[in-house]
């Protein structure tokens, strides 16, 4: 049988097989191969006397470290435009990390009752130009959360974004029960010395939601200079048009990406973010 690991605790793995959850142990061969099953893994299992055994771990499409989970297919990147004010550079960092991890990013702007239609239109256009889907929601009232539910079908979805933007409120409403702690409780838990959170997949409308926020580390210094441009989605349409195949889109002549910025086809804000990340990666490398 084949299924998805939805929880792992104390050496036992709980595998969802067509809606039925089977408790399994991993075969000893994985320990010998120094491979451990993790939440999100697609696995083959066998049943003997009602007990399950994991026989094979399918190849992973990706693996996040914090939270520790495999095969995440999409991220709801949650930000508020007001309270707190939108930090566009931070949003772009989350989008870059999604690209790096081969995860489809959906930009979710919460607290949309606090902004004007003109502001909505501005950010919608900015991100659509970069080929991102944008959804405006109100977590407290539940407005437009049905659109997120629709997108969750057949996906393993992780939430990411800064604190205070309403990730917990939205995720709790989507699954109809308390998953992530909200407000002060979560701040106190984060400070607790012995607090351990295990990743878990919660089934919701034929998809899974990761029961811990994603991407707690936004340090981009692990990137190589020459690959940063590969994770800026709006560059892809113009990459083949540069004079040099190895064009970094910085100071080279006849650069299609820079031309697209001048023509307004790529947002100047996104391009300047790219230059800042290049600088950050370069500086970190020089300090080593």
Binding residues for GTP: 110-113, 161-169
| Residue 219: partners with Cβ closer than 8 Å, 6 or more residues away | none
Please list the residues that pair with 16 across neighbouring strands. 4, 21
| Residues placed in the known binding site for Zn(2+) | 242, 247, 249, 255
CA 210/CA 197 separation, integer angstroms: 12
CA 288/CA 286 separation, integer angstroms: 6
In order of 6, 113, 184, the CA distances from 42 in angstroms are: 10, 40, 36
Residue 198, SS3? coil
The whole-angstrom distance between residue 206's C-alpha and the CA centroid of its chain comes to: 19
**CB of 61 within 8 A of CB of 192?**
no
Residue from 71, 69, 77, 105 nearest 200 by CA: 69
Q: How many other C-beta atoms can be found within 10 angstroms of the C-beta atom of residue 25?
A: 14
**CB of 273 within 8 A of CB of 249?**
no
Q: Cα–Cα–Cα angle for 89, 287, 227, nearest 5°?
A: 50
Give the CA dihedral 220, 224, 226, 228, nearest 10 degrees.
Answer: -20
CA 231/CA 103 separation, integer angstroms: 11
| Residues placed in the known binding site | 110-113, 161-169, 242, 247, 249, 255
């Amino acid at each position: 049988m084949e299924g998805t690991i939805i929880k792992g605790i104390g050496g036992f793995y709980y595998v969802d097989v067509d809606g039925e959850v089977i408790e399994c142990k991993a075969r000893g061969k994985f320990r010998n191969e120094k491979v451990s099953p993790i939440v999100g893994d697609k696995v083959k299992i066998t049943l003997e006397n009602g007990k399950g055994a994991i026989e094979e771990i399918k190849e992973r499409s990706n693996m996040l470290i914090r939270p520790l989970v495999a095969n995440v297919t999409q991220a709801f990147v949650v930000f508020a435009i007001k309270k707190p004010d939108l930090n566009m550079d931070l949003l772009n960092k989350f989008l870059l990390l999604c690209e790096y991890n081969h995860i489809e990013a959906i930009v979710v702007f919460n607290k949309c009752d606090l902004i004007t239609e003109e502001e909505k239109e501005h950010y919608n256009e900015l991100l659509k130009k970069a080929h991102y889907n944008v959804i405006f929601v109100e977590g407290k009232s539940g407005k437009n959360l049905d659109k997120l539910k629709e997108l969750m079908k057949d996906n393993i979805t992780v939430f990411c974004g800064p604190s205070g933007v309403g990730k917990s409120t939205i995720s709790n409403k989507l699954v109809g029960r308390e998953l992530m702690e909200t407000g002060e409780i979560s701040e106190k838990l984060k400070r607790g010395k012995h607090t351990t959170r295990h990743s878990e997949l919660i089934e919701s409308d034929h998809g899974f939601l990761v029961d811990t926020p994603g991407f707690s580390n936004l340090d981009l210094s692990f990137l190589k200079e020459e690959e940063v441009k590969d994770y800026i989605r709006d560059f892809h349409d113009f990459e083949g048009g540069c004079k040099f195949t190895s064009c970094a889109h910085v100071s080279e002549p006849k650069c299609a990406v820079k031309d697209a910025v001048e023509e307004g086809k790529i947002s100047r804000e996104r391009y300047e973010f790219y230059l800042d990340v290049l600088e950050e990666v370069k500086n970190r490398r020089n300090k080593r």
